[in-house]
Structure 1
Amino acid sequence: MRSNFLFTSESVSEGHPDKVADQISDTVVDLFLGKDPYARIACETLTTTNLVVLAGEIRCKGVYENGEWADGALAEIEAAVRNTVKEIGYEQSGFHWETFAFHNNLHGQSAEIAMGVDEGANKDEGAGDQGIMFGYATDETPGLMPATLYYSHKILERLAADRHSGAAPFLEPDAKSQVTLEYENEVPVRATALVVSTQHKAGYCLQGDNANPALYEELRAYVSGVMHDVLPEGFISDKTAIYINPTGAFEIGGPDGDAGVTGRKIIVDTYGGAAPHGGGAFSGKDPTKVDRSAAYVARYMAKNVVAAGLARRCTIQLSYAIGIAEPLSLYVDLHGTGTVPEAKIEEVLPKLVRLTPKGIREHLKLNAPIYKRTAAYGHFGREPDADGFTWEKTDLVDALKSAVAA
C-alpha cells in the first residue's frame, strides 16, 4: 500500500447533462414510490437540445397497471419532469423547461423479471438482477469519504447555491470540477491541481464573439475564492495549478452542448475512483434493484466499520443472482488498516443486517420517495435526515464493537 502519491477525483453539477438525466429518472422513481411503495421502476432518460426522452419498464398501483395508464398519469409525469428541469435552472434557448419536446416511452415491467423478484408463499423476494456491488469508507474526511471527491462536490455545491441565491448571477447550471491532492503517509496534505469549468452568461469569457477579459477575470476571481473557501487552509499555495474555464469560453452547455444519459456518472456518484465499482448505475431504479440497494447497504456497512474504529479504510463487496434472495458472497478488505481480521467482520455483518433485497429495504427504509436528492453531488457522504440518506447513519457502531469482541 502506497503512502505518498497524487490522487484525483472529479464531480459534475446538477446542470451537467448526465446529471439532468439522473435527476429526471429519480423524479420518476419518487413520483411512483410516493403513490405505491412497492412500485417497480427502471427509468432511463436521454436529454439533448430541447428534448427529453424517457424509456424503461414500470409497474405502479394507481398509475400503470395491466398495461394501462391511469387517467392523468401521463400529464403528471410530464409536469414532474418539467418542474425538475425548472428547479435546476434551465431557461435557455437550447434547453428550456417549458418548451423542450417530451417523449414518454415507459411501459410495463417484464413478467419474467417480475416472476423472479416478487415474493411468494414459498419464496422470499429475489434480487432484481445479478451483479456485484461495492461500498467504501475512509477516515480522510468527517463524512468518511475520499477527500478528492469530497472537495470536488463541495466546490460545485457552493457554485450552485450561489447561482440559485443570486450571489453569482453570471453562472449557468452546467459545471465540472476536478481536485488533485498530494498524500503524505496516506493523508491528504495539499492541492497540486484544481480545475473548474462552469457555464456562464454571455461575455464572461476570453474567446469567441462575446469575449470580455474583465468579466472573465470577475468569474475567475469568484471561482478561485470558492476554491479557497472550500479546501482546508494551507492546501492551496502558489504551487497549485489552477485552471478555470481553460477552453476560454463555456456559454453553450447542458443538454444543448452535449447529450445526457442516465447512469453515465457512476464514479462521480460513488467514490471518485478511490474504490472499485460494480458497474451498475443507481438513478432511475427502485430499491428491488440491487445495483442501488445493495450498493447503499455496502456503503452503510463499510462506513460503520470505519466509524467503529475497526479500520481506517474499508471496502465491502456483495454479489447477487437475479431471483435469489440471499447474497452469493460478502467480501471485506481493510487495506491493511484493520484492528480485527476481515474474516471476523464478514462473519458479523450478516448478523446485524439482513442482506436480502427485502431486508436491506426494510433496514434502510428505502421504499419511499427519497431519491431525487441523491442524483446530484454524490449518493454517499451526505448527512442522514428524516427524509433519506439512511445508509449514511453510523448506528451499527456499538453492535459491531460488541460482536467483534465476542
Structure 2
Amino acid sequence: MYLFTSESVSAGHPDKCADIIADTIVDRLLELDSNARVATEVFISGKHIIIGGEVRTSADIGEGFYRLCAIDALSAIGYPEIGFDESQTLYPDATDIRVLVSRQSPDISIGVDKKSGEIGAGDQGMMIGFATDETPTFMPGALEYARKLRDALYVHSLEHPDRFGIDIKTQVSLDYGTKSNFDANLPQAIRKIVAAVPHAAHVDIEEARSVVKRVIVETLGNDPLFDERACEFFINETGRYVTHSPLADSGMTGRKTVVDTYGAYAPIGGGAQSSKDYTKVDRSGLYAARWLAKHIVAAKLAKKAVVEIAYVIGRAQPVSVTVDTMGTALKPFRDEELSVRITEKFPLTPRWITEKFGLDKPSRSSFLYADIAARGQVGYDDYPWERLDELEWFMG
C-alpha cells in the first residue's frame, strides 16, 4: 500500500463557525460598501464569542451589526439542533458576544488605495494554486472524497436534528499502491474512512455508528475505488460524542487552511482567506493562483501544477510568479518559460483579480464568502475563479 490522507470538516465545526461569522461580516460590509476594507478575526470558546480586528467603511454600523452577523451565521449553520440541550450544543441567542473592532490603520490605506485607481496588495506574502487531473474538478482525490462524505453526513444531520449534530469531521485515506502511481495521479482504492458525527444522548453509540456507516456506504455507492469489504472504518472512535460545537472545542478563524485548500497535497502558502476583503492577497492571490494552475492542467500542459504568486504590501504587481509542473509536463516546455509567459499575459494585480472574479460584489446571485468558508476556498465549479475561460490561450 501507498496511502495518502486528507480530512474535511463541516460548517458546524468550531473553526468553521469562526470562519463563517467572519465572512458573513465581509459579505454584509461589501454589500453596504464595495470599497470596505475588512480584516476581522473571530474566536469562539464555549458560549463566548470575541470579534476583533480592523475595518474601514462608509457604512453606518455599530456593535449591533457584528452581533447580528454572528447570531445569523450560527443559526444558518444549523445551531442549535433540537436533540441537544444547552449543555451539549451551542444556542446562538444565548451567546455572550464582545466586539473589539477598530478602524483600519491609515498607514495601510496609503499603500493599498492608489490615486490611479489601482489597488496595492494589502499585505506581503505568497499564495499557492494547485491542480491535478486526478479528479474531474482538478482537485486531489482524498480531499474530494472527504468533502463528499462531509456534505452527505452534514445534510443527514440537518435532516435529523433530533438525533445527530452538525459538528462533523471526515477523513479519507486513498491507496495508490505505489509511489509511482501517486506521482501519476492513479489511486487504486479507498482504504480507510474516518468520521465523527455527534449523536443525541438517547441514541446508542452502536446505532449511531451504524447510521453513519450506512450514509457513507450509500454516498460512495458504486464508486470504482470503493469496496466496503476492503475498507476500514473508524466512526466516533471515542465511543461517545454528545457534547460538541464550541462548547466542546474552541474555534478560531484561519485554522483550517489545509482543509480549505488542497488537503496537504500541495503547499498552502501564506495566510488564511476567511475574514479578509479582496485587497488582502491571502484571498485574491490564492484565487488567481488556483485559476492559473487549473488552466495549466485542463489545457493538458501537465498532469499537475503548483503556481506560486508573491506580493509585497502596497505594490500592485506581484514580485514573482512561479510555475512548477512537478515533473508531469505533457508538452515540451520549461516551467520557467511558462512562468514568464503568464507574467506577461496576466497583470495579476489585486484590481485585475477583483474585477475578473467580482470579488468586491458578493451576493446570493454570484457567491457569498460565508458559503465559500463553509465549503472550501477552491474546487467548486460555481466559484468564479474555477471558470476555464482562458483555455484557448493556454492551449495555443
Match of 2:217 in 1: 225
Unaligned segments of structure 1, at least 5 residues:
64-69, 207-212
Inter-partner Cα distance in structure 2 for 1:96 and 1:189 = 44
Is 1:146 aligned with 2:140? yes
Is 1:79 aligned with 2:79? no
- Please state how far the C-alpha of 1:234 moved relative to its aligned partner: 4.3
Match of 1:98 in 2: 93
Match of 1:192 in 2: 191
SS at match of 1:98: helix
Inter-partner Cα distance in structure 2 for 1:11 and 1:323 = 34
- Tell me which of 259, 265, 268 is aligned to 2:259: 268
Match of 2:269 in 1: 278
CA contact (8 A) 1:189 1:235 kept: no
CA contact (8 A) 2:3 2:175 kept: yes
- Tell me which of 346, 355, 358 is aligned to 1:365: 358
Inter-partner Cα distance in structure 1 for 2:213 and 2:137 = 29
Q: How many pairs does the alignment contain?
A: 377
Unaligned segments of structure 2, at least 5 residues:
363-367
- Please state how far the C-alpha of 1:220 moved relative to its aligned partner: 4.0
SS at match of 2:240: coil
Inter-partner Cα distance in structure 2 for 1:143 and 1:164 = 26
- Please state how far the C-alpha of 1:53 moved relative to its aligned partner: 1.2
> Where in structure 2 are the equivalents of 1:3-402 lying within 5 Å?
5-63=2-60, 70=61, 73-91=62-80, 92-94=85-87, 95-121=90-116, 124-166=118-160, 169-184=162-177, 185=181, 186=184, 187-206=186-205, 213=206, 215-226=207-218, 228-229=220-221, 232-338=223-329, 339=331, 340-369=333-362, 370-384=368-382, 389-402=383-396
* Structure 1 letter corresponding to 2:167: D
Q: CA-to-partner distance for each residue in 1:98-151, whole Å, 9 max, x for gaps?
A: 111111111100111111111124x84211111111000001111100010011
- Please state how far the C-alpha of 1:169 moved relative to its aligned partner: 4.8
Cα pair distance change 1:256/1:341, threshold 3 Å? same
* Structure 2 letter corresponding to 1:97: P
- Please state how far the C-alpha of 1:227 moved relative to its aligned partner: 5.1
SS at match of 1:235: coil
SS at match of 2:291: helix
Inter-partner Cα distance in structure 1 for 2:120 and 2:146 = 37
Q: CA-to-partner distance for each residue in 1:331-376, whole Å, 9 max, x for gaps?
A: 1011111123212321222344321111111112111223111112
Cα pair distance change 1:217/1:358, threshold 3 Å? closer
CA contact (8 A) 1:318 1:327 kept: yes
Inter-partner Cα distance in structure 1 for 2:86 and 2:226 = 40
* Structure 1 letter corresponding to 2:394: L
Cα pair distance change 1:217/1:321, threshold 3 Å? closer
CA contact (8 A) 1:155 1:226 kept: no
Match of 2:365 in 1: none
- Please state how far the C-alpha of 1:275 moved relative to its aligned partner: 0.3
CA contact (8 A) 2:284 2:354 kept: yes
SS at match of 2:264: coil
- Please state how far the C-alpha of 1:247 moved relative to its aligned partner: 0.8
- Please state how far the C-alpha of 1:163 moved relative to its aligned partner: 2.4
Inter-partner Cα distance in structure 1 for 2:264 and 2:219 = 21
Cα pair distance change 1:217/1:151, threshold 3 Å? closer
Match of 1:209 in 2: none
* Structure 2 letter corresponding to 1:392: E
Q: TM-score, normalised by structure 2?
A: 0.91
CA contact (8 A) 1:267 1:277 kept: yes
CA contact (8 A) 1:182 1:189 kept: yes
Over the aligned positions, Cα root-mean-square deviation in angstroms equals 1.8
SS at match of 2:242: coil
Inter-partner Cα distance in structure 1 for 2:293 and 2:136 = 14
More strand by share: 1
CA contact (8 A) 1:205 1:250 kept: no
